[in-house]
Amino acid sequence: MRTVIIITVGIFVASLLLALLRKRPGAPNTAIVAFTLTWLAFCGWNFSVGVSHGYSFAEEIPFFLANFAVPVIFMWLVRHRFGGPTT
């Protein structure tokens, strides 16, 4: 359940950033980079909490990858599809 909550929060934050910055030129590209780095740090922290609570690296890595990748891929796809290419 925690994974679903984290992914949902990530998608919500990504959507909010894109909605707030969509009218500023270049801002959505900056938002994607900022979100990706911030989300990576948050997911790394979440990963370390799981490992410190007794889960092994091998048990936690699939959850880390899902928690990180789903919101970041969502943000990139929404930006690419509705806001033009990210380059």
Side-chain half-sphere CA neighbours of 86 within 13 A? 16
pLDDT tens per residue, the chain (87 residues)? Answer: 899 999 999 999 999 988 887 777 777 788 889 899 999 999 999 999 999 999 999 999 999 999 999 999 999 898 888 765 544
- Threshold 0.75, pTM exceeds: yes
- pLDDT for 83 equals 65
Q: Domain total for the chain?
A: 1
Whether 4 contacts 68, CB under 8 Å:
no
Domain enclosing residue 78, as ranges: 2-83
pLDDT at 84: 57
Distances (CA, A) of 41 to 11, 23, 46, 63, 87: 16, 27, 9, 14, 24
